[in-house]
């Protein structure tokens, strides 16, 4: 039986509902895979009346979403009322965002959905509610561990046709990166990236480029010894396992066109080292893909944009790319390799 994608509402006060409406409106033109939105139907209806009055909302169970999708936006009730207004998160925001994520994971694990796509959340809103995880990626790993009893190591990859990057350390202050960076972390991340590029993206022999931590990859220790003592030994371990990896490479020359043609994914040592180049090259269509999970999860690579929420001006391009990539990754057995262009 054909299964839809499960799409979470994200931060209700943000642009998640807006870009969902815009994506659904382009479903036929773009041949989008059927999806259903996890949220509060009354809230979704109110937002639609505000910016998309011609849109029809249908409250359904996941099994009915596929047939409903052609004529109405399928909405699955998460059982959490939402009162937040555009641009103004309130006490309903965090419980709703988290309930939608939990339900999406449960639906995918139960086979009701083929993959999950998550609309943007506001981390500061989650943190104020007592949310203990650094972000979406880490929370998904926790949910998988709770449901399976098996520890999960989720890895965040930002993917676009131009570039794929993986930050080895993610949501950390820069002053804490060195303390958390280790050879084991680099190796484990590289293994997961290589495996998922093979199994989900269909790349027979993935090529990994590993960035150095320090300027010029440390200049043989003159600009810090971490590249000699941590990164280089980790790359050698990956190579010994049969993974095609190179590094440490100077990050300042890793992302131009000719360099990008030489690898399938770049491993960066910290958040901005990875995200600055991909947001420069593919700001409106990059996709956040979580590797290392027993299911496919993608997300737009942008935030909640409170300043334009509820105006109808939000660009759905990244969400559309996330929906399309989730469907392609979920049906990889019937698809050609998902490669990047140089």
Assess whether the previous peptide bond of 108 is cis (omega < 30° from 0). no
Return the sign of the alpha-carbon dihedral for residues 246, 251, 253, 256. Answer: positive
pLDDT of residue 334: 45
Half-sphere exposure of 151 (CA within 13 A, CB side): 1
Q: What angle do CA 300, 292, 199 make, to 5 degrees?
A: 95
**H helical segments located in the chain:** 16-25, 27-30, 41-51, 62-68, 93-110, 123-128, 136-148, 177-180, 183-199, 226, 232-240, 257-260, 271-282, 317-330
Quick one: pLDDT at residue 1?
A: 53
Measured CA to CA, the distance from residue 225 to residue 219 in angstroms comes to 9
Q: Are strands 287-291 and 297-300 parallel, antiparallel or unpaired?
A: antiparallel
pLDDT in tens, the chain (342 residues): 579 999 999 999 999 999 999 999 999 999 999 999 999 999 999 999 999 999 999 999 999 999 999 999 999 999 999 999 999 999 999 999 999 999 999 999 999 999 999 999 999 999 999 998 878 888 888 888 888 877 788 999 999 999 999 999 988 899 999 999 999 999 999 999 999 999 999 999 999 999 999 999 888 889 899 999 999 999 999 999 999 999 999 999 999 999 999 999 999 999 999 999 999 999 889 999 999 999 999 999 899 999 999 999 999 999 999 999 999 999 864 455 666 665
Domains of the chain, by residue range, sit at: 1-154+291-342, 162-284
pTM for this entry: 0.92
Check residue 149 and give its pLDDT. 78
CATH number of 1-154+291-342: 3.40.718.10
Check whether domain 162-284 has CATH 1.10.1840.10, yes or no: no
d(CA 146, CA 179): 28
Distance (Å, whole) CA 16 – CA 303: 9
Q: Give all strands of the β-sheet with 244-249 in edge-to-edge order.
A: 57-59, 73-77, 35-39, 5-8, 115-118, 297-300, 287-291, 155-159, 164-167, 265-268, 207-211, 244-249
Judge residue 54's burial from the number of C-beta atoms within 10 Å of its C-beta, 0-12 exposed, 13-18 middle, 19 or more buried: exposed
How far is the C-alpha of 45 from the C-alpha of 75, rounded, in Å? 10
Q: Do domains 1-154+291-342 and 162-284 have the same CATH topology?
A: yes
Evaluated on CA atoms 31, 37, 41, 43, the torsion sign reads negative
Among candidate residues 169, 138, 116, the one with its CA nearest the CA of residue 3: 116
CB 144 within 8 A of CB 152: yes
- The answer to whether the Cα torsion of 105, 126, 326, 18 is positive or negative is positive
């Amino acid at each position: 039986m054909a299964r839809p994608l499960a799409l979470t509402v994200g931060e209700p006060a943000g642009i998640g509902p807006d870009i969902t409406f815009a994506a659904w409106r382009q479903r036929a033109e773009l041949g989008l895979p059927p999806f259903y939105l996890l949220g509060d139907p009354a809230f979704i209806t109110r937002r639609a009346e505000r910016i998309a009055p011609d849109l029809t909302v249908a409250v359904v169970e996941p099994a009915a979403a596929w047939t409903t999708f052609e004529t109405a936006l399928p909405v699955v009730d998460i059982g959490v009322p939402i009162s937040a207004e555009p641009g103004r998160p309130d006490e309903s925001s965090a419980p709703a965002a988290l309930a939608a994520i939990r339900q999406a994971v449960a639906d995918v694990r139960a086979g009701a959905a083929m993959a999950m796509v998550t609309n943007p959340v506001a981390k500061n809103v989650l943190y104020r509610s007592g949310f203990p995880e650094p972000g979406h990626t880490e929370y998904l790993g926790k949910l998988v561990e709770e449901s399976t009893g098996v520890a999960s190591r989720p890895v965040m990859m930002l993917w676009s046709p131009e570039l794929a990057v993986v930050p080895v350390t993610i949501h950390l202050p820069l002053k804490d990166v060195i303390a958390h960076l280790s050879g084991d972390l680099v190796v484990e991340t590289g293994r997961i990236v290589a495996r998922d590029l093979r199994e989900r993206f269909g790349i027979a022999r993935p090529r990994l480029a590993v960035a150095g931590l320090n300027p010029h990859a440390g200049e043989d220790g003159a600009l810090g010894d971490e590249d000699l003592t941590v990164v280089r030994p980790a790359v050698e371990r990956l190579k010994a396992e049969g993974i095609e990896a190179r590094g440490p490479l100077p990050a300042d020359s890793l992302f131009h066109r000719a360099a990008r043609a030489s690898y399938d994914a770049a491993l960066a040592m910290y958040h901005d080292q990875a995200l600055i180049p991909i947001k420069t090259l593919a700001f409106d269509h990059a996709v956040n893909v979580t590797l290392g999970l027993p299911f496919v999860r993608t997300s737009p690579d942008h935030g909640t944009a409170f300043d334009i929420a509820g105006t109808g001006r939000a660009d759905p391009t990244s969400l559309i790319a996330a929906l399309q990539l989730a469907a392609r990754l979920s049906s990889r057995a019937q698809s050609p390799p998902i490669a990047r262009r140089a």
